[in-house]
């Protein structure tokens, strides 16, 4: 199956639409099912509700399930709302358990209970087992559709078992080995299974050094682990090493996208990820909390400037440079913040050490501060023919850049130390804090050296 570009998808959509309009079921199925599920989902989303209702009668729950797995979970509720409840329950039963759980978490609790009641008992139990895990943990993103073998099995027995269970498994590249107490004791790759002698025991071939994650482990930490070890799947265990499920690389890619979007939103001062489909009220609701906090901080900054009213009365030209100094502080603080948040998110800061990173940022702030300070001193002197005014602005810029850079790197590290998401130290937040710092430095120095300025 080739990936379709927008033009090819439009052409395919027209062919499918023609088949639907003319009730050519076989032609529709041939055209639609030939596509990759991703392209099926994109075409499906563009259809009118009337057409989608027609498709539900042409495709089986299993075929619809594959389409649903490739639609953004946050946008999927309307599709299940328009389905017949029994058909929707069958679709959930046919989906990978972890995908079904992710979608059900987006739905109303009463609807979830209704679907689980209608669903067959086995599928419902598997989904219920995952629904009770806390969101964004290993338990919430794992799947229970995996293959295990026992350590005492022979290779021949394991291969027969694998052939039987493989159609329902999420992946078979790794086969996990358990003991009689269902504890994880090893792992064996598909390659090793194929090349081993049939009479050998699994225990003789398996790798006992298994990397696993706890069921309560944060999904971001799991993503880092899979990135570091280049695994296609990771086993999930409880505190007694019982194998509960596996997390596959496709789920981790979704996690990485989710975490990146979440961090970006927080860095922009938004309380939650916004969708382009949201209306103005929904967007405002997510932005208002941070804007109100920043409004109060901004009011504090204004009152702080008011305290130096006497200084401004005597040397009014000082007001000209307030935006310059505050802007420089905000810019350098945001740069340091981005480096620190990214280092925490990727785990690089833990590897190189927090103090090393802080010292590096302090050195960066010092170099940029001295450079910008000297430059602005010369510019102000040539512009205003006042050496002391140029020196004041230059020193203020230099000190502000050093302090703002340190603040931008220290704030997220301190937040991380207290288990607070460092991305909460958003760009607008750190900018406002650095505005306060820069005003204090600038007017504090101006007040101290007032005699030289007049």
pLDDT of res. 272:
55
pLDDT of res. 267:
55
Residue 329 CA, distance from chain mean position? 28
pLDDT of res. 342:
74
Domain CATH code at residue 102: 1.25.60.10
For residues 254 and 294, membership in a common domain is answered with: no
Domain CATH code at residue 394: 1.10.357.20
In a domain, 79, yes or no: yes
For residues 202 and 93, membership in a common domain is answered with: no
CA-CA-CA-CA dihedral for 239, 176, 124, 70, to nearest 10 = 110
In the predicted model, residues of the chain with pLDDT beneath 70 are 1-6, 9, 259-279, 282-283, 286-287, 290, 345-352, 420-428, 454
For residues 198 and 288, membership in a common domain is answered with: no
For residues 216 and 320, membership in a common domain is answered with: no
- Output phi, psi for 246, to 5 deg: -135, 155
For residues 333 and 436, membership in a common domain is answered with: yes
Residue 61 CA, distance from chain mean position? 30
Boundary-marking domain end, from 112, 136, 160: 136
Domain CATH code at residue 208: 3.10.580.10
For residues 97 and 75, membership in a common domain is answered with: yes
- Cα separation values, 152 from 41, 147, 171, 207, 210, Å: 44, 15, 22, 14, 18
For residues 98 and 236, membership in a common domain is answered with: no
Q: Listing from the earlier edge strand, what are the strands of the sheet with 243-248?
A: 213-214, 233-237, 243-248
**Full-prediction pTM beyond 0.75?**
no
Number of domains in the chain: 3
Integer Cα distance of 303 and 309 in angstroms: 10
For residues 125 and 183, membership in a common domain is answered with: no
In a domain, 271, yes or no: no
Boundary-marking domain end, from 226, 260, 294: 260
Are 397 and 371 a contacting pair, CB within 8 Å? no
- Cα separation values, 321 from 196, 247, 312, Å: 76, 55, 12
Full residue range of the structural domain in which residue 254 is found: 148-260
For residues 20 and 131, membership in a common domain is answered with: yes
In a domain, 272, yes or no: no
For residues 333 and 376, membership in a common domain is answered with: yes
In a domain, 207, yes or no: yes
Boundary-marking domain end, from 109, 136, 163: 136
For residues 432 and 311, membership in a common domain is answered with: yes
């Amino acid at each position: 199956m080739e990936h379709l570009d927008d033009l090819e998808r439009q052409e395919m959509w027209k062919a499918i639409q023609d088949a639907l309009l003319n009730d050519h079921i076989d032609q529709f199925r041939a055209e639609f099912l030939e596509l990759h599920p991703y392209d099926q989902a994109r075409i499906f989303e563009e259809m009118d509700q009337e057409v989608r209702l027609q498709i539900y009668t042409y495709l089986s729950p299993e075929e619809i399930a594959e389409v649903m797995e490739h639609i953004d979970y946050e946008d999927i509720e309307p599709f299940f709302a328009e389905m017949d409840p029994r058909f929707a329950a069958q679709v959930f039963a046919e989906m990978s358990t972890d995908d079904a759980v992710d979608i059900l978490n987006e739905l109303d609790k009463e609807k979830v209970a209704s679907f689980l009641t209608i669903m067959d008992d086995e599928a419902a139990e598997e989904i219920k087992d995952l629904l009770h895990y806390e969101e964004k943990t290993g338990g919430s993103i794992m799947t229970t559709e995996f293959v295990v073998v026992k350590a005492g099995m022979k290779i021949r027995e394991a291969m027969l078992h694998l052939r039987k269970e493989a159609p329902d498994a999420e992946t078979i590249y790794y086969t996990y080995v358990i003991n009689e107490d269902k504890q994880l004791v090893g792992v064996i790759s598909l390659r090793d299974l194929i090349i081993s002698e049939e009479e050998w025991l699994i225990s003789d071939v398996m790798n006992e050094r298994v990397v696993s994650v706890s069921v309560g482990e944060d999904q971001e930490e799991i993503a880092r682990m899979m990135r570091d070890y280049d695994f296609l799947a990771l086993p999930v265990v409880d505190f007694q090493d019982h194998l509960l499920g596996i997390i596959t690389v496709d789920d981790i890619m979704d996690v990485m996208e989710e975490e990146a979007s979440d961090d970006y939103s927080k860095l922009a001062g938004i309380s939650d990820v916004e969708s382009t489909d949201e209306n103005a009220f929904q967007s405002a609701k997510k932005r208002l909390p941070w804007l109100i906090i920043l409004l109060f901080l901004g009011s504090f900054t204004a009152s702080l400037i008011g305290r130096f009213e006497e200084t401004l009365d005597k040397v009014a030209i000082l007001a000209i440079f307030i935006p310059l100094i505050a802007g420089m502080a905000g810019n350098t603080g945001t740069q340091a913040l981005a480096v620190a948040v990214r280092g925490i998110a990727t785990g690089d800061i833990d590897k190189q050490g927090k103090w090393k990173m802080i010292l590096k940022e302090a050195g960066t702030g010092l170099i940029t501060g001295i450079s910008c300070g000297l430059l602005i001193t010369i510019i102000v002197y040539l512009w205003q023919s006042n050496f002391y005014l140029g020196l004041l602005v230059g020193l203020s810029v230099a000190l502000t850049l050093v302090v703002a850079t340190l603040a931008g790197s220290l704030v997220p590290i301190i937040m991380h130390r207290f288990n607070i998401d460092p991305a909460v130290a958003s760009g607008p937040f750190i900018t406002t804090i650095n505005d306060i710092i820069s005003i204090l430095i600038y007017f504090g120095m101006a007040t101290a050296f007032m005699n030289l300025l007049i």
